[in-house]
Amino acid sequence: MEARSVDAIPQGKAWQYEPKWDGFRCLLAREGERVTMTSKAGEDLTRYFPEVVAAAQELNAPSFVLDGELVVPHGKAFSFDDLLQRIHPAASRVKMLSEQTPALFIAFDLLATEKERKLSEQALAVRRPALEAFAKANFGKTQSTFRLSSVTRSFATAQKWLAQSGGGCDGVIAKRIDLPYQAGNRDGMQKIKRFRSADCVVGGFRYASNKEGGRKVVGSLLLGLYDDAGLLHHVGFTSAIKKEEKPALTAKLTPLITEQSFTGNTPGGPSRWSTERSAQWCPVQPKLVIEVCYDHFSGERFRHGTSILRWRPDKAPRQCTFDQLKQKAADPRKLLA
């Protein structure tokens, strides 16, 4: 069951609202001692989270299927960076991380139990009470790995969650209570994120992929922010630059090409996520400032591509610091039962 991205929280009696967790979506199934964990993309996550498997085997229910989110607590928030580190090929490191940064499974839907094998065919108005009863019987005080996600029918509460999003809760999920589990489509669930803006230095660019052999044009901009020591760190990139704007943008940036721009973290560094293309970029003199729209910032970088809102010739590059991204977010743990 996937979500359709929308701009505003839907209203009406047909909807219920939940926090949108910033983790790994996961279907967790148990049949006796056998536990499987499957990602939204269909990948097997079981070997990477042995502590969750062990906790699932200790639950009272011998057979069930839960839909939920894997998160890793870090202080008063959830850390997506710590969660990413859990996907590692070495069994020894998987074991070490399972002890050092244990994950939580936040349950928000129940698809099957030993007695109700086809619970997914029931409306959410039936499944949610069944999940709450399941959690009461299984997620006791003796274990802390499995938690129940909050839910509300109040539009005002959903608005409050959206306004306070951050720290591991990055928006609101709205679900139709009158529909069965909508596997493989987006008809029963919508997601709403809180978008913010930031002023960033243009520290470089990448050329667009050129399959036709024509003139090279800018494909994306590389963004930078200054820290307290005056170092310029690469923090992300812009996406979806309009085709008709690329020639003028290329002409604007080409004269500024230099040997070095970022003095702190730089693009294309060693990473298991890097590609050949991600290491190919042109540094430019840090003279230009743009305001970008973003949805999530963690680990000193934008998690996703940003979009350009406007150029800021009135803003000095040195004014573009990490301080502007500090935000007060609600403790996401308070939204867990």
Q: Which positions are catalytic? A: 20
DSSP-H helix ranges across the chain = 50-57, 80-85, 91-100, 124-138, 155-163, 246-253
CA distance 131 to 232: 48
CA distance 60 to 137: 7
Q: Is 268 left (phi over 0), alpha (psi -120 to 50) or beta?
A: left
Judge residue 32's burial from the number of C-beta atoms within 10 Å of its C-beta, 0-12 exposed, 13-18 middle, 19 or more buried: exposed
Count of Cβ atoms closer than 10 Å to residue 134 Cβ:
23
Tokens for 151, please give them. Answer: 């839910």
Q: From the centroid of its chain, how far is CA 86?
A: 15
Give SS3 for 138: helix
Judge residue 252's burial from the number of C-beta atoms within 10 Å of its C-beta, 0-12 exposed, 13-18 middle, 19 or more buried: middle
CA distance 190 to 183: 14
Tokens for 128, please give them. Answer: 């949610």
